[in-house]
């Protein structure tokens, strides 16, 4: 028997479509010819991921030993015909993302096929149990990628309607029943008029076995993790891979593409450390322990080190075009790329014996655009620190805060000022948050560049610019990804206040991971439970995950609204980034700095990580700068002698008032906007008197009037509820916890209308609760399930603005009440 093969490199498979073994109608399959090779089983290479996990959990003395028997073709009996699938055939693969008829299948090439056979020495006492690994016809495929399977935010490249890309080294193992049909992949270029930079939607065929799938055009290989493209010849690669016999059996290594990212005469690449997989426990020959990483002869493409070319900056910029035309791939000396040998490109690898290979096999050179991008990342944007890039971006944005929607506004200075001062009008960047912007950008960019996952906890009281700053960071990251200054990624935002229940977050994330266009096609018809199962399988590597390989950035806003009794939603979102190869970055935004310590269990808190960024309340000077920056941006395009709409002293007074209460930027924007509204009819400058009038009106709002008319016990219940909300970090509080807090405050607060305050009875407090619920100041848990709970276990929630309650009750109760509300 030939020597055992060598285990291939275990590459990350993040972002790949999950292959499904469901082939629809029952089919009968059989091998078409005798075996072509046999060797001892290497579980990490030959088993399905789910079977490998079960096999590894078994004790050593109970593990079954197999041998792997390879074949070259199999036949499937169907209703009308009996198609034959052979090694080297390009096929359509059914993935779990296919929920509708217009969903397109994934495309791949078959690189190996085999089955596992128990070794003759195996003698099991419990032989009645069926072996799930025996009898399965397993396939290893090498993925192609459709343009729609790449990251949503990355380098954009013109492509033909039916063009697909070849992945560098992305393979998966699954059952043969996941194959739908054969399809044609050609290197013959379609007419130039068919090129488009949009998603191919008209000429893609449906995922239906009755329809012909393809043909597809492929002339470019892609590194989806880094967003780099390489010129290569599909026909030459396929012919070379099928003619070779020195490939480690079952690994598909000969189908990999080796990117040449350095030029002749440049220093060699660094050596890569490789891990030696464990030898099978029993039944394998002694030579099986030679299963080292010799099959990792080629350096990991995703980890390839780019050596700066000798070209000048001007030459690199000239190469940076949008046209990836079919230029001949030439070396510096004018020779064809086929003359570049593996020894030249990887001369520093281990000096272990290797089978001689054809010179220049599977070499691919970057397209002109990717070559220029590599040069920029090597000496341009890559040399600047993220903090420096953040400050440069903020400086450019702060010059004009980027209100693109102002183009349709009239030239009236008051109308323009009211527009920019509106709370819902958000600029591209926030003044006075440069440091926080840089820290968030630095943290996320590092995770994207490292190709790892992680959690970043962002906290701060409402109105301190947390969400707006994260949005600005994401916009900057999208720009960097489109310019190839960082790795491509997919972005999804989950707001706890905008989803019906916390578990709906699973469906939103699965839509983004599986490449569903929610805006165009809507959400997939899949339940939250099914989404959770698919996400767990996807991030844990328990199933084949397709060719994508890009990262995913998730913004979890209003985190306290996603907290459940079991805390399973936040646990899963914090746990997935800790899994190897997940490349999931979670930005968790909450209003409480110590929410993890107060409300999260130990297992959830331990997975949150150590990266925490706190947004402090704005100071008076910062609030003044924010308003002045927005007013200044409204003057863009106006004459220099345009009327002043808001007096500087009025802004200064308002900032001091707001900073002494909450430091909420939204509040000062609202006051200034309403002051400008008062001055607009007379077309005059809003002054201090207008600001004071607006504050007086806000203090005399219906909510403030109601709170002043509340009884002492009603106000104490509201204060107790607010205290519990701040302590627990969630808005839904058990009524029993409010009562306990109320009993504490009875002893320290005094009623000015009563000489001696007594503790109210439970029935009296129940009447107080009914009064607050009837006035819609509170909401109480209702429904058949809630009515079966004890009254103390039912939850209540504040239904009026918390900041206004704190302000009014602080004014009514005096300093002792303000101390309680602010601590």
Domains in the chain, CATH or no CATH each: 28-258 (2.30.30.490), 433-615 (3.40.50.300), 620-698 (1.10.8.60), 704-822 (1.10.10.10)
pLDDT attached to residue 246: 57
- Cα dihedral across residues 200, 202, 208, 210: positive or negative: negative
Cβ proximity of 28 and 76 under 8 Å: yes
The pLDDT of 776-787, averaged and rounded, is 85
Tokens standing for residue 363: 């070499």
Residue 569 has pLDDT above 70, yes or no: yes
pLDDT attached to residue 519: 62
The pLDDT of 517-534, averaged and rounded, is 76
pLDDT band with cut points at 50, 70 and 90 for residue 378: low
Q: Is 334 left (phi over 0), alpha (psi -120 to 50) or beta?
A: left
Residue recorded with tokens 């399905």? 48
Q: What is the rounded distance in angstroms from the CA atom of residue 206 to the CA atom of residue 221?
A: 24
Q: What is the DSSP letter of 227?
A: T
Q: What angle do CA 389, 395, 397 make, to 5 degrees?
A: 100
The pLDDT of 417-438, averaged and rounded, is 84
**DSSP H helical ranges for 643-755:** 648-661, 665-679, 688-699, 702-709, 712-728, 735-746
pLDDT tens digits, one per residue of 788-810: 888 888 989 998 888 788 888 88
The pLDDT of 285-292, averaged and rounded, is 34
Could you give phi then psi for residue 397, rounded to 5 degrees? -75, -35
pLDDT, the chain, mean = 75
Q: Which residues pair with 339 in a beta bridge?
A: none
Residue 549 has pLDDT above 90, yes or no: no
User: How do the residues of the chain divide into helix, strand and coil, expressed in percent and rounded to 5?
Assistant: 40, 15, 45
pLDDT attached to residue 27: 63
| CA separation, residue 162 to residues 154, 223, 457, 526, 688 (Å) | 20, 19, 42, 28, 65
pLDDT tens digits, one per residue of 346-368: 333 333 334 334 444 566 777 76
How many other CB atoms are found less than 10 A from the CB of residue 643? 12
Residue 272 has pLDDT above 50, yes or no: no
pLDDT tens digits, one per residue of 205-223: 333 344 457 789 898 898 8
288, 292, 349: which is closest to 8 by C-alpha? 292
pLDDT attached to residue 412: 84
Residue recorded with tokens 């920019």? 420
Greater model confidence, 96 or 448:
448
């Amino acid at each position: 028997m030939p020597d055992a093969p060598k285990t291939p490199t275990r590459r990350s498979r993040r972002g790949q479509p999950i292959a499904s073994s469901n082939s629809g109608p029952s089919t009968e399959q059989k091998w078409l010819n005798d075996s072509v090779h046999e060797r001892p089983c290497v579980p990490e290479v030959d088993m399905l991921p789910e079977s490998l996990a079960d096999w590894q959990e078994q004790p050593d003395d109970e593990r079954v030993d197999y041998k792997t028997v390879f074949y070259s073709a199999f036949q499937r009996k169907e209703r009308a015909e009996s198609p034959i699938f052979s090694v080297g055939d390009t096929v359509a693969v059914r993935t779990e993302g296919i929920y509708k008829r217009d969903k397109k299948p994934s495309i791949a090439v078959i690189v190996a096929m085999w089955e596992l056979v128990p070794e003759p020495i195996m003698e099991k006492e419990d032989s009645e149990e069926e072996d799930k690994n025996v009898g399965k016809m397993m396939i290893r495929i090498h993925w192609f990628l459709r343009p729609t399977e790449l990251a949503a935010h990355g380098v954009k490249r013109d492509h033909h309607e039916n063009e697909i890309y070849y992945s560098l080294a992305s393979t998966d193992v699954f059952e043969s029943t996941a194959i739908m049909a054969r399809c044609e992949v050609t290197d013959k270029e379609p007419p130039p008029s068919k090129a488009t930079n949009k998603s191919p939607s008209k000429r893609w065929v449906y995922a239906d076995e009755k329809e012909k799938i393809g043909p597809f055009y492929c002339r470019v290989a892609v590194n989806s993790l880094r967003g780099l493209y390489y010129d290569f010849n599909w026909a030459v690669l396929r012919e070379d891979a099928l003619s070779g016999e020195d490939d480690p059996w079952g690994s598909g290594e000969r189908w990999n593409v080796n990117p040449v990212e350095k030029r002749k005469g440049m220093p060699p690449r660094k050596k890569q450390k490789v891990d030696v997989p464990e030898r099978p426990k029993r039944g394998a020959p002694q030579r099986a322990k030679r299963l080292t990483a010799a099959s990792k002869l080629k350096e990991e493409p995703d980890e390839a080190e780019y050596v700066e070319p000798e070209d000048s900056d001007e030459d690199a910029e000239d190469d940076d075009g949008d046209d990836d035309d079919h230029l001949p791939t030439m070396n510096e000396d004018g020779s064809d790329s086929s003359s570049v040998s593996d020894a030249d490109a990887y001369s520093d690898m281990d000096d272990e014996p290797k089978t001689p290979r054809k010179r220049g096999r599977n070499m691919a050179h970057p397209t002109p655009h990717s070559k220029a991008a590599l040069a920029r990342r090597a000496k341009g944007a890559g040399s600047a620190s993220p903090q420096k890039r953040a400050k440069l971006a903020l400086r450019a944005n702060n010059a004009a805060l980027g209100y693109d929607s102002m183009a349709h506004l009239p030239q009236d200075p008051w109308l323009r000022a009211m527009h920019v001062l509106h709370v819902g009008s958000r600029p591209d960047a926030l003044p006075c948050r440069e440091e926080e912007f840089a820290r968030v950008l630095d943290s996320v960019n590092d995770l994207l560049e490292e190709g790892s996952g992680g959690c970043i906890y962002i906290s701060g009281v409402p109105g301190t610019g947390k969400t707006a700053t994260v949005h600005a960071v994401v916009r900057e990251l999208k720009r960097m990804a489109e310019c190839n200054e960082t790795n491509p990624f997919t972005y999804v935002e989950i707001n706890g206040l905008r989803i019906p229940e916390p578990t709906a977050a699973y469906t939103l994330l699965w839509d983004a991971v599986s490449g569903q266009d929610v805006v165009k096609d809507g959400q997939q018809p899949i339940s939250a439970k099914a989404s959770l199962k698919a996400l767990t399988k996807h991030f844990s590597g328990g199933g084949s995950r397709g060719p994508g390989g890009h990262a995913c950035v998730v913004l979890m806003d209003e985190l306290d609204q996603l907290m459940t009794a079991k805390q399973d939603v936040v646990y899963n979102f914090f746990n997935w980034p800790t899994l190897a190869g997940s490349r999931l970055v979670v930005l968790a935004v909450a209003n409480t700095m110590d929410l993890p310590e107060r409300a999260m269990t130990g297992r959830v808190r331990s997975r949150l990580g150590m990266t925490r960024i706190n947004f402090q309340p704005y100071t008076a000077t910062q609030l003044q700068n924010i308003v002045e920056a927005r007013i200044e941006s409204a003057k863009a395009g106006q004459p220099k002698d345009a009327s002043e709409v808001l007096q500087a002293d009025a802004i200064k007074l308002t900032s001091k008032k707001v900073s002494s209460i909450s430091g909420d930027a939204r509040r000062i924007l609202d006051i200034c906007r309403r002051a400008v509204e008062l001055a607009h009819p007379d077309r005059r400058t809003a002054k201090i008197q207008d600001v004071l009038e607006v504050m007086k009106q806000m203090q005399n709002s219906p909510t403030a009037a109601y709170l002043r008319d509340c009884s002492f016990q009603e106000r104490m219940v509201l204060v107790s509820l607010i205290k519990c909300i701040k302590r627990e970090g969630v808005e839904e509080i058990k009524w029993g916890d409010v009562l306990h807090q109320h009993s504490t405050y009875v002893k320290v607060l005094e009623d000015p209308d009563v000489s001696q305050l007594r503790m109210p009875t439970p029935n009296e407090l129940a009447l107080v609760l009914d009064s607050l619920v009837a006035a819609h100041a509170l909401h109480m848990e209702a429904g058949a399930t809630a009515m079966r709970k004890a009254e103390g276990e039912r939850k209540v929630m504040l239904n009026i603005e918390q900041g206004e309650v704190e302000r009014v009750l602080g004014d009514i109760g005096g300093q002792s009440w303000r101390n309680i509300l602010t601590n």
